């Protein structure tokens, strides 16, 4: 018979260690990357990132690198916490906002956004990741986060309009459908791939604002992430 007191002590120690690691992540990574939104910082201290990772990646939960999770037909890389935090801050999420989280992967970004917005819709196109995302959100007590399994570039028209559309990765093209799902005054946040980059990873964080039906655009900061396949420009071949 297992000693339940020892098991409880082990769980408590793991929880305490996770809390210390989150504090270090916030203080040494996120705050130093010009993230000052107190609501967002508090949320990052609340949500244990390891709960949204497969077991083999849990030891890297609070590292400052992107983490690739169970790739299927499309590549998925969870953004480094400091990049993710600064992107969310740039979106200016308020407690009355409806948010679409595109390429939500295992659900960590959706869990953060759920503590900041009024409503969050998590969009994922990979069935295995969608199932994991739904399981992670439910186990963390976020059953109210609605999830949609559909092509990323299609957005979630039945759930629109949105005040914020958050894209977890780099894009090159195919944002038109997402733009139509923004309310006037809405914001779309993504990483925009740098044209001509040979590595395929150089990008800039960008914010699009919908103003009287038109789309404004501004670059925010340099970052690096793989291009999401749904938003990739097809290779063009030139014949001489």
Q: Give the CATH number of the domain where residue 148 resides.
A: 3.40.50.150
Looking at the domain assignment, is residue 224 inside a domain? yes
The domain total for the chain is: 1
**Mean pLDDT over residues 156-169, rounded?**
97
Residue among 107, 56, 60, 63 at smallest CA distance from 82: 63
- Is the predicted pLDDT of residue 94 greater than 60, yes or no? yes
Looking at the domain assignment, is residue 79 inside a domain? yes
- 96 exposed, middle or buried (CB, 10 Å; 0-12, 13-18, 19+)? exposed
Q: For residues 236 and 47, which has the higher predicted lDDT (pLDDT)? A: 47
pTM of the model: 0.90
Q: Which residues neighbour 181 within 8 Å (Cβ) at sequence distance 6 or greater?
A: 100, 155, 156, 157, 160, 161, 162, 165
The one-character DSSP state at 108 is H
The one-character DSSP state at 40 is H
In angstroms, rounded to a whole number, what is the distance separating the alpha carbons of residues 8 and 183? 48
Taking a C-beta distance cutoff of 8 angstroms, is the pair 70, 130 a contact? no
Taking a C-beta distance cutoff of 8 angstroms, is the pair 206, 217 a contact? yes
- Is the predicted pLDDT of residue 237 greater than 70, yes or no? no
Looking at the domain assignment, is residue 53 inside a domain? no
**pLDDT score at 202:** 74
Residue-wise burial string across 109-139, b where 16 or more C-beta atoms lie within 10 A, e elsewhere: bbbbbbbbbebbbbbbbbeebbebbbebbee
**pLDDT score at 107:** 96
- Is the predicted pLDDT of residue 239 greater than 80, yes or no? no
Q: Which residues neighbour 94 within 8 Å (Cβ) at sequence distance 6 or greater?
A: 116, 117, 163
pLDDT category at 5 given cuts 50, 70, 90 is low
**pLDDT score at 16:** 81
**In whole numbers, what is the pLDDT of the chain averaged over residues?**
90
Query: What percentage of the chain's residues is helix, strand, coil (to nearest 5)?
Result: 40, 25, 35
180-227 pLDDT per residue, tens: 999 999 999 999 987 766 665 678 999 999 999 899 999 999 998 889
Query: Which residues form the domain of 114?
Result: 64-231
Q: How many residues does the chain have?
A: 240
Edge-to-edge strand list for the sheet holding 202-211: 146-149, 119-124, 98-102, 162-171, 182-193, 202-211, 214-224
Taking a C-beta distance cutoff of 8 angstroms, is the pair 169, 225 a contact? yes
Looking at the domain assignment, is residue 157 inside a domain? yes
């Amino acid at each position: 018979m297992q000693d339940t007191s020892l098991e409880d002590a082990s769980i408590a120690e793991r929880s305490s260690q996770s809390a210390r690691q989150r504090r270090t992540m916030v203080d040494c990574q996120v705050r130093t990357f010009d993230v000052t939104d107190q609501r967002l910082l508090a949320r990052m201290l609340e949500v244990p990132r390891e709960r949204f990772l497969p077991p083999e990646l849990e030891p890297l939960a609070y590292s400052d690198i992107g983490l690739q999770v169970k790739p299927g037909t499309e590549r998925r890389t969870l953004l480094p916490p400091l990049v993710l935090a600064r992107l969310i801050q740039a979106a200016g999420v308020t407690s009355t906002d409806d948010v679409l989280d595109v390429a939500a992967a295992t659900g960590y970004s959706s869990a953060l956004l759920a503590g900041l917005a009024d409503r969050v819709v998590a969009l994922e196109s990979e069935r295995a990741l969608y199932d994991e995302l739904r399981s992670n959100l439910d186990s963390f007590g976020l059953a109210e986060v609605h999830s949609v399994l559909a092509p990323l570039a299609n957005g979630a028209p039945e759930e629109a309009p949105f005040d914020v559309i958050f894209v977890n990765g780099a894009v090159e093209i195919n944002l038109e459908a997402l733009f139509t799902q923004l309310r006037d005054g809405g914001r779309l946040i993504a990483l925009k791939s740098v044209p001509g980059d040979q590595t395929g990873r150089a990008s800039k964080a960008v914010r699009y604002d919908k103003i009287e039906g038109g789309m404004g655009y501004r670059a925010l900061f340099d970052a690096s992430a793989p291009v999401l396949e749904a938003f990739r420009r097809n290779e063009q071949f030139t014949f001489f």
